[in-house]
Amino acid sequence: MRGHGLAQGEGSGVRADARDNRLRILTAADEVFGQSPQASTDAVAKLAGVGIATVFRHFPTKTELLEAVLTQRLERLRDQALTLASSDNAGRAFYMFFSRVVSESAVKLAIGEALIAAGGAAGEDARKAAAGLREAFGSLLAEAQRVGAVRRDAGLPEVYALLIGASRGATARHLEPEVRDRMLTLVYDGLRPAS
């Protein structure tokens, strides 16, 4: 039988369960909405293994859920870029990150479309995460330029525009991986210093 002495521990357990549920919901929502912007929160609850009431307890509206998913995805990319900026091979890290962003762009854009379809727009958290990603990408670019892997006259505004353009182009054209990789080779040829 549980006594009052366990109340504090139980509270911690409840908070841990709530954190776990929130993470499962966000992970499921990323997958569900990344595959279909028209998906329902019921599908998210089912994949997360929680009831729909649990989803709405954490995210009272579909818009709030989608914004949280988008924010989490942007923050994850930001953190990856920051980690890669301090790697031993900054040039390889830069091109690897660029390729990763382009290859994952369909999911991110689908989540953005779902957010718009739900009547929302990127809120303050998502905007901060996007700004953080751009800044982290700038650090990664600077390191790649420092080691001579990217031409020095390529500024962040144009290189970031290339990243966004390649991402949107690959998604809009539903490029096969081989075609996408050939497109990226052409982009990278333009970014590398002339021999």
- For residues 32 and 84, membership in a common domain is answered with no
Q: ∠ at Cα 40 (34, 44), nearest 5°?
A: 65
- For residues 46 and 98, membership in a common domain is answered with no
Residue 121 has what pLDDT?
65
- For residues 104 and 137, membership in a common domain is answered with yes
DSSP 118: T
- The rounded radius of gyration (Å) of the Cα atoms in the chain is 20
Maximum pairwise Cα distance, the chain: 76
- For residues 69 and 48, membership in a common domain is answered with no
Residue 184 has what pLDDT?
94
**106 or 120, higher pLDDT:** 106
Q: Is the pLDDT of residue 11 over 90?
A: no
For the chain, what is the domain count? 2
- For residues 75 and 2, membership in a common domain is answered with no
Distance, in Å, from the CA atom of 92 to the CA atom of 156, rounded to the nearest integer, reads 18
Q: Is the pLDDT of residue 38 over 90?
A: no
CA atoms within 13 A on the CB side of 127: 4
User: Does residue 65 contact residue 41 with C-beta atoms inside 8 Å?
Assistant: yes
- For residues 146 and 83, membership in a common domain is answered with yes
Which of 54-58, 93-97, 168-172 has the highest mean predicted lDDT (pLDDT)? 93-97
- For residues 165 and 190, membership in a common domain is answered with yes
Question: Which of 60, 76, 96 is the last residue before a domain boundary?
Answer: 60
Q: Is the pLDDT of residue 42 over 50?
A: yes
- For residues 123 and 174, membership in a common domain is answered with yes
Q: CATH no. for residue 1?
A: 1.10.10
Query: For 109-126, what is each residue's pLDDT tens digit?
Result: 777 777 776 666 667 787
CA atoms within 13 A on the CB side of 81: 27
Q: What is the mean pLDDT of the chain?
A: 85
- For residues 181 and 151, membership in a common domain is answered with yes
Residue 186 has what pLDDT?
95
Question: Which of 19, 43, 60 is the last residue before a domain boundary?
Answer: 60
pLDDT-derived band at 40 (thresholds 50, 70, 90) equals confident
- For residues 78 and 146, membership in a common domain is answered with yes
Look at the block and give the residue holding tokens 């929502």: 29
Distance, in Å, from the CA atom of 168 to the CA atom of 158, rounded to the nearest integer, reads 15
Q: CATH no. for residue 150?
A: 1.10.357.10
- The residue segments making up the domain with residue 4 are 1-60
Question: Which of 60, 84, 104 is the last residue before a domain boundary?
Answer: 60
- For residues 87 and 37, membership in a common domain is answered with no
- For residues 90 and 54, membership in a common domain is answered with no
Sequence-distant (≥ 6) Cβ neighbours of residue 49 within 8 angstroms: 24
